[in-house]
Amino acid sequence: MGVVRHQVVVDAPRERVFDYVDGYQNVPEYLIGVTHFEPTTDQTRGLGSVFDVRVDLGPKKIKAVVECTRYVENELIELRAIDGFEADTTWRFADDGNGTDLQLEINYTLPGGIAGRVLGGIIGPFAAQAVRHIEATIAKKVVARG
């Protein structure tokens, strides 16, 4: 299993940062490679909401269905894969002075064999680029919304 962790302080109130990250329509803006993130249930946020996800990793495209399994308004969002590529994502939000301490953790499981080795070689460099993109995009979009 692989793990990607990142922590950043965003110069905006926690409620605004949470609202932006929680908006499913914003996910392709801040998660690089995500080309499709659409609800499959009438519920589009919070515990029990389910989303169809497609990610373009360059030479490899992956699909997954994720469900929100833990949700605390303005504090926590956890998405667990229930079908397709096995990746679980946890976002944590806390006050940090006038800003927000934002923590992200992604746990993923690679398939076995050659496919897993190839995908593992892609995900490492992709994850580093993705973290920089997440940090820059969330900070820019949330601060711009005032």
pTM for this predicted structure: 0.86
Q: Give 37-81 pLDDT, tens digit per residue.
A: 999 999 999 999 999 999 887 777 889 999 999 999 999 999 999
Number of domains in the chain: 1
Q: What average pLDDT does range 124-136 have in this prediction?
A: 72
Q: Which residue, 75, 141, 100, 140, is CA-closest to 13?
A: 100
Provide the 10 A C-beta neighbour count for residue 114: 8
Domain of 61?
2-144
Judge contact between 110 and 99, C-beta under 8 A.
Answer: no
Tens-place pLDDT, residues 109-123: 765 665 556 556 656
Most confident of 80-89, 91-100, 112-121: 91-100
Q: What is the CATH number of the domain that holds 111?
A: 3.30.530.20
Query: How many angstroms separate the first and last alpha carbons of the chain?
Result: 39
Residues 54 and 75: their CA atoms lie apart, in Å, by: 26
